[in-house]
Amino acid sequence: MVGFRDFLSELEELGLLARIDKRVSTRFEIAAVIKKLNSRPVIFTNIEGHKDFKLAANIAANRRLVARSLNISEGELLSRLIYAIENPSKGEVVEDAPCQEIVIRDPDLRKLPFLIFGERDGGPYLTAGIVIAYDPEYGFNASYHRLMLIGKNKLVARILPRHLNAYIERGNRDVAITIGNHPAFMLASAVSWKLGISELDIANALKPMKYTWTITNNLLVPADCEVVLEGRVTDEWTDEGPFIDITGTYDIVRKQRVIEIKCITMRRDTIFQQILPGGPEHRFLMGTPREATIFREVSKVCDVLDVRLTGGGCNWLHCVIKIRKKNEDDGRRAIEAAFKAHKSLKHVIVVDEDIDISDPNEVEWALATRTQLDKDLILKPGELGSSLDPSADQVNRITCKAGVDATIPLGEEREKFIKARIPGEDELKLEDYIQ
């Protein structure tokens, strides 16, 4: 098994990890550096006021990084994720876990490098914390929740009405918050699939995991994560926010639940972790499980090869689907299936197998050379869409959705649509020609 720390070492050996030894502040400065690095992985080794901690970010910020962490190609990522969701399996449970090398009872959370990201943030935040809870009927659940620091041992958690909320309402108050996780566990915890299918088991199907029992509250956590906060959801509610959301704009203040932390366990030479809100890692983790859902649904109606929620569409609103077209209406069927799979989806473009969907210019080229919109456009006015889109009605969520079939018509002569190739161009090395 390879954990968070081993993956960081691998990135460092490959020259992919930015190491920042300059002294940096948890107030704005660290966030600004992470933002400036775009999706490049980074480790900060000298944090003002937190000399016992290093801090890493951007380690699961794009497909290339996460595919590397799973030892697969980028093209295999979605099918591996779908496999893991459909074939969850139990990880090994171990004792003497690295994440429990240091045990602190009666802890002070203010010693941890919570960050202030933006100027209107409601307080210092932890954004990379994965909350694990247990229900006797449904088993373990793991999910991301942003956590605002409000006192020595208190956090307020943004909890949407999804799985963790259901667990709490069923009386399960014990939680463990894990920080410094391998990308396999990060990606699995970003999946919101079915109640009763454990993200711990999805993670193990992505990559073999080892789990260990928490010290105070009988929960399983990844044995080689960096930090575990053991605590309990209280009956107290308080203001959470404002804080930056996936669109890069500020979310409103809401009354949310308070979590009390009773014990912290850590690895020695602890590496803390944060995710830039609205940044590439946040968007990748939210978007990728939706790509998997769309892939599954589209595969029921045609031969789908790949799906991408694009960066320009906030990894949420715009989708490009690559298919191997066999029937004339495959494009239209793919569009309808995608809207069925992801309710927030606004625009869909379907392309053929020769288009590189990671390149926006290639997708635009397909639009330019393969569509006649009087035939290839599907317009869907008056649909229920995302509350995040400022051009839609954000109160009743009514929006106009659209899909474009940018595949080559089967009846046409295929040759005239295919990019011309020069024999030998792919193998040619310019170094053989230029001194």
Instruction: Write out the DSSP string of 104-150.
Output: EES--GGGS--BB-STT-SS-EE-S-EEEEEETTTEEEEEE--EEEE
Spatial CA neighbour of 350 closest among 325, 380, 327, 315: 325
Closer CB to Mn ion, 169 or 431, in the complex? 169
Compute how many residues bind Mn ion; rule: CB under 5 A. 2
393 is catalytic: no
> Taking the complex as a whole, how short is the minimal distance between the CB of residue 97 and Mn ion, in angstroms?
23
DSSP class of 279 = S
Closer CB to Mn ion, 26 or 141, in the complex? 141
Contact string 115-144 vs Mn ion (x = CB under 5 A)? --------------------------x---
Determine the residue with CB nearest Mn ion: 163
Closer CB to Mn ion, 190 or 307, in the complex? 190
Query: 270: burial class by Cβ within 10 Å (0-12, 13-18, 19+)?
Result: buried
Candidate list 201, 245, 330, 376, residue with the active-site label: 245
> How far is 204 from 223, CA to CA, in rounded Å?
12
> Taking the complex as a whole, how short is the minimal distance between the CB of residue 140 and Mn ion, in angstroms?
9
Residue written as token pair 């790949």: 306
> Taking the complex as a whole, how short is the minimal distance between the CB of residue 202 and Mn ion, in angstroms?
9
Closer CB to Mn ion, 87 or 369, in the complex? 87
Q: Are 226 and 272 in contact (CB under 8 A)?
A: yes
> Taking the complex as a whole, how short is the minimal distance between the CB of residue 86 and Mn ion, in angstroms?
15
> Taking the complex as a whole, how short is the minimal distance between the CB of residue 47 and Mn ion, in angstroms?
32
Restricting to residues 148-187, which ones interact with Mn ion according to CB under 5 A?
A: 163
Partners of residue 318 on adjacent β-strands: 347
Angle CA(233)–CA(234)–CA(237) in degrees, nearest 5? 110
Closer CB to Mn ion, 96 or 169, in the complex? 169
Q: Are 204 and 172 in contact (CB under 8 A)?
A: no
Contact string 86-115 vs Mn ion (x = CB under 5 A)? ------------------------------
Q: Which residues are known catalytic residues? A: 245
Q: Summarize as ranges the residues that interact with Mn ion (CB under 5 A).
A: 141, 163
